[in-house]
Structure 1
Amino acid sequence: MVLDALELPSAKLNLLPASDLFSGAGDLPLLECISPKCTALIALQGAQVLSFCPEGENDLLWLSPLESFVAGKAIRGGIPLCLPWFGVNRREPDLAKHGFARHQSWVLENVAEADDGNLVLNFSFQPSAADLALFPWPFSAQLEVSLGESLQLSLTMSNSGVAAMPLSFAMHSYFAVAALDKLALKGVSGAEYLDNCRQLARFQQDEALRFNVEIDRVYEGLGGEQQLCDTARTMTVTGSGCDTVVVWNPGEALAKNMADVGEHFSEYLCVERGMAFADELQLAPGQQHVAIMTVAKAC
């Protein structure tokens, strides 16, 4: 689907270079979505939702104000799609973290308004021959983005090869927060987690989370709902087919060495949903896996 601007009955989409929206940015193409229920910004690279503002609300997502929007470079913020592996590739540790799909352009297949007034966009991704040299399992991915009072991502991954395919992934959500040091995260209490700041040692979440230092925790098989209770609002994250929950913020010390974060580390918390570590999948030939994540401001 090719578009510069598209008018729907009650919504409008504009395809713009990032430099039109952000001073000093590159020309990475971004899709501006405007509807009566919300506004959103989506990069064609990675089919990455960068911004989501329900009508009358501030952005639920955080996008780095230092982002350069250079093609082929991971975009810091929004909801990157990390696949076909999450984090370090456990079979080939020298490969780039978080797979290759977030660095490449996805195809916008369709745009429509649903009966409920939500704006629905469909994207697809097929790995190239160079990708398959790194990950020798043919697959395809489709993403449906539903924009309304809430944001819903439906990610479908299909094994199109003849052998079982290892698959781990995450919808790596960056949530905008007003006061990281006062933030409460509900929905992880009592769960076991792997602590990536302590060589993935296993612990139990038996105290309230505090976000005053680096935190990088993996809750396998957790699922359910997580709530980010900020000083200004509460946001909810729910899902199916994405039972791994990853909670991450670099903290002040690490962020100093991150060119696209720096002093802005306190403006976000990542609460990611996917299937990784012990939840990694083995897709049989012809098998699909569907993961659905919904992000909303609590009433």
Structure 2
Amino acid sequence: MVLDALELVSAKVNLLPASSLFAGVGDLPILECTTAKCRALIALQGAQVLSFCPVGEDDLLWLSPLEPFEPGKAIRGGIPLCLPWFGVNRREPELPKHGFARNQSWALDNIAESADGDLEISFLFHASEADLRIFPCLFSAQLTIFLASDLTLSLSVRNNSDDTMPLSFAMHSYFAVSGLSALGLNGVEGSEYLDNCQQLARFIQDEALHFTGEIDRVYEGLSGRQCITDTQRNIVINGRGCDTVVVWNPGEALAKDMADVGWHFSEYVCVERGMAFADELQLAPGQQHLAVMTLAQAC
């Protein structure tokens, strides 16, 4: 199916090993997509967008320059899809963080080109019988990526089991920034949040968020629009069906012990959209949930 899909727009999409794009790394397969409006890189592992550059602009996303691209291991940067649970599994904390879908290959289902040259790329994931060892429900997911001047991700998750399925997830976006000292995040003012740096204690965000050290906050039921204000540009995040907003940066002290981050911690901030904590879903048999997130650069 990969080859069939690529034949639709072969001039705009190439399937390449990671080693041909990044020096000294593994050979995970990556789609290189180029249109009149943008260039994007998407890993088949996790259907993970790694890079999105509007024409004439810098990359909206950060990808660790220390990333080794090892099969089956999480890729640091871009937009990992954390599901069927986000963060620490609240029922079985010993399980791997952020689920298992980001560490497995997704099937490239289709590539379509619009009349104005934009691309629509769809991936499919089906949980296997082997996955039942750590998650009690079989499920499927479809991710459709729309590449235009903006980047839109449409994620649909369906419960294929006979039992109610707990689902929490996040589109774990790493945004490239010029630094943390002058960075701000609007769209969270007046909201309550859980502070994961203080044992998930609850606080109120009185004003726009600024980054003065390690930040790990969860804003439940927030939805709406957030805007990262940088000295060089602003980045706007919109979404529906993804009402949890997670904001994270490890800060210098924590990052120094992270092999794939280190001193690069000040080059990114994560503003993630999903459904987690109090927003966790309970999908009935056959039920599906749709979440859509759009990222855009603003003046």
TM-score by length of 2: 0.97
59 and 116 in structure 1: CA distance in 2 versus 1, 3 angstrom threshold: same
Task: Say whether the 8 Å CA contact 1:153–1:293 is kept in structure 2.
Answer: yes
Match of 1:209?
209
SS, match of residue 115 in structure 1: coil
Match of 1:157?
157
SS, match of residue 266 in structure 1: helix
Task: Say whether the 8 Å CA contact 1:5–1:12 is kept in structure 2.
Answer: no
What is the CA-CA distance between 1:207 and the residue it aligns to?
3.5
Equivalences for residues 170-189 of structure 1 within 5 A: 170-189=170-189
What is the CA-CA distance between 1:2 and the residue it aligns to?
2.4
Instruction: Map Cα deviations across residues 140-164 of structure 1 (whole Å, 9 max, x no partner).
Output: 0000000000000000000111111
Match of 1:234?
234
SS, match of residue 33 in structure 1: strand
- The separation in 1 between residues aligned to 2:8 and 2:234, in whole angstroms, is 32
Match of 1:89?
89
Task: Say whether the 8 Å CA contact 1:121–1:144 is kept in structure 2.
Answer: yes
- The gaps in structure 2 that reach 5 residues or longer are none
Report % sequence identity. Answer: 73
Q: Does 1:3 align with 2:3?
A: yes
State the AA in 2 paired with 1:133.
R
Task: Say whether the 8 Å CA contact 1:11–1:36 is kept in structure 2.
Answer: no
Equivalences for residues 127-276 of structure 1 within 5 A: 127-276=127-276
SS, match of residue 3 in structure 1: helix
Match of 1:283?
283
Task: Say whether the 8 Å CA contact 1:11–1:33 is kept in structure 2.
Answer: no
SS, match of residue 197 in structure 1: helix
7 and 159 in structure 1: CA distance in 2 versus 1, 3 angstrom threshold: closer
Task: Say whether the 8 Å CA contact 2:187–2:208 is kept in structure 1.
Answer: no
- The separation in 2 between residues aligned to 1:36 and 1:7, in whole angstroms, is 19
Instruction: Map Cα deviations across residues 119-141 of structure 1 (whole Å, 9 max, x no partner).
Output: 00000000122211210111100
SS, match of residue 30 in structure 2: strand
174 and 229 in structure 1: CA distance in 2 versus 1, 3 angstrom threshold: same
- The separation in 2 between residues aligned to 1:276 and 1:3, in whole angstroms, is 36
State the AA in 2 paired with 1:181.
S
Task: Say whether the 8 Å CA contact 1:12–1:35 is kept in structure 2.
Answer: yes
Match of 2:14?
14
Q: Does 1:120 align with 2:126?
A: no
SS, match of residue 236 in structure 1: strand
SS, match of residue 266 in structure 2: helix
- The separation in 1 between residues aligned to 2:252 and 2:221, in whole angstroms, is 29
State the AA in 1 paired with 2:246.
V
Match of 1:45?
45
What is the CA-CA distance between 1:8 and the residue it aligns to?
5.3
SS, match of residue 87 in structure 1: coil
Equivalences for residues 22-33 of structure 1 within 5 A: 22-33=22-33
Aligned length: 299
183 and 97 in structure 1: CA distance in 2 versus 1, 3 angstrom threshold: same
Instruction: Map Cα deviations across residues 245-291 of structure 1 (whole Å, 9 max, x no partner).
Output: 00000000000000000000000000000000000000011111000
- The separation in 2 between residues aligned to 1:116 and 1:281, in whole angstroms, is 37
State the AA in 1 paired with 2:199.
Q
